[in-house]
Amino acid sequence: MKGEKFMKIIVAALLCVAAAYLIFSVTRFSGDAFTTYKAVRYEVGDGITTSGFLVRSEQAILAEDSGIIVPTRNEGEKVGKGQTLALSYRDEAAKQLQTQIDELEEELAQMRYAHSYSATDADAASMDTDILRLMNQITLSASRREYSAADKSAEDLKPYVLRRYLNSSDADALWARILAAQERLNKLYDEAGAESGRVTAPVSGWFSGVSDGLESELTPEFLETATVEALEKYQGVNRREANAIGKLVTSQKWYFAAVVPSQNVAELELGDRITVSFAYDFYGSLQMTVERISPAEGESCILVLSSESYIQNAVRSRAQTADLVFADRSGLRVPKTAIYATEEGQSGVYVLEGAEAKWKPIHILFDNGDSFIVELDKSSTNNLWPEDEIILTTGEIFNGKVMVK
């Protein structure tokens, strides 16, 4: 009897505990509707789009002759002092004569290369590799709009193709053609002797066939003290020299100068590196250094950036439009309605782990409209991580609360 009475007491106690838990659950954990929002990575570039000028140490090249001038260098090509920049012809007939010489010289070089070929399986395999490499270079250069480089690769490809498919029975006939071509070329040399001249480089540098007449005005020295008003005067200005055949850029360091809103560059300092993407002439973005931020004039100032890379792409154009990215901000995007603060001022959110709410502290980086971007700190699992389910609710919530929908 005592045992039965003891069991009844145990059962009654368990029922009381269960009832208390149910009452506690109903009063504490029910009735608060909630949804969840997954924390997601967010990246944004802090910057502006602006128009400005490319500035270089450069020297205009003027032609002394009044005849026909034909540049012989590609845009951005490096040349040494005294090397030929262009050929000058007395008249159109002299120019056509030089064209014949150039074509015949190229044809002769290809035939000599093909004639020297000794057909073996190893040679053929090696040549197939070279042909494929040059074809890939042509495709890549064309996709980047580097047409001068594509043309050069195409010219380099011609003798490989001729040599690859030449058989030994063609060797004698090809040699006869070589001798005839050389004899013809010698005669053309004699005819062209007094009909043409050369324009040579007065200094070493990178060649461009474009001269806008501002080479001695828009200089690195000008940028050291230029005002907003002084720089803006060059918008749309073009003082092209009638007898200029191009220019030489004499220093590898070049600049981009633009008038920008002062408030957009308030946090920049000299020496900072920013990402720049130009509208044309450049493939992809590049890093440039902040050289100068002029005193504000009204709401504007001059931002001067410099680089010592890709000078071959920076020799042609003067006016450029560019996207300037001052900083790449990244973190986790969190709805503003999900953020709470402790009495000590620590911001945080509640995330759903299992069926419970767990408090996770956050550090807000910047306001993104209807959400905040918060720091992604992977030093501890107690911090907010990507894919964490952030709890959104209008009801009471605290650390450890069982969330029941």
- The DSSP line for 268-324 is --TT-EEEEEESSSSSS-EEEEEEEEPPPBTTEEEEEEEESS-GGGSSS-SEEEEEE
Q: What is the pLDDT of residue 29?
A: 45
Contact 18, 183 (CB under 8 A): no
Q: What is the pLDDT of residue 243?
A: 77
pLDDT, average across residues 90-98: 71
Contact 113, 232 (CB under 8 A): no
Strand positions, DSSP E, 362-400:
364-367, 371-374, 389-393
Domains present along the chain, CATH in parentheses = 48-57+203-327 (2.40.30.170), 67-200 (no CATH)
The position carrying tokens 């802090």 is 46
Tens digit of pLDDT for each residue in 197-247?
Answer: 778 899 999 999 989 889 999 999 999 999 999 999 998 877 776 678 899
- Rounded Cα gap, residues 201 and 304, in angstroms: 30
Q: Is the pLDDT of residue 168 over 60?
A: no
Q: What is the pLDDT of residue 24?
A: 47
- Both tokens assigned to 333: 């995007």
Q: Is the pLDDT of residue 120 over 60?
A: no
Helical spans, DSSP H, in 165-272: 171-192, 220-225, 228-232
Tens digit of pLDDT for each residue in 62-81?
Answer: 877 666 777 888 899 999 99
Q: What is the pLDDT of residue 155?
A: 73
Tens digit of pLDDT for each residue in 322-353?
Answer: 999 887 778 999 999 999 999 899 999 999 99
Collapsing DSSP states into helix, strand and coil, what is residue 6? helix
Tens digit of pLDDT for each residue in 358-405?
Answer: 999 999 988 888 889 899 998 898 999 999 999 998 888 999 999 876
Q: Is the pLDDT of residue 127 over 90?
A: no
Mean pLDDT of the chain: 82
Q: What is the pLDDT of residue 256?
A: 98
- Both tokens assigned to 215: 């080479």
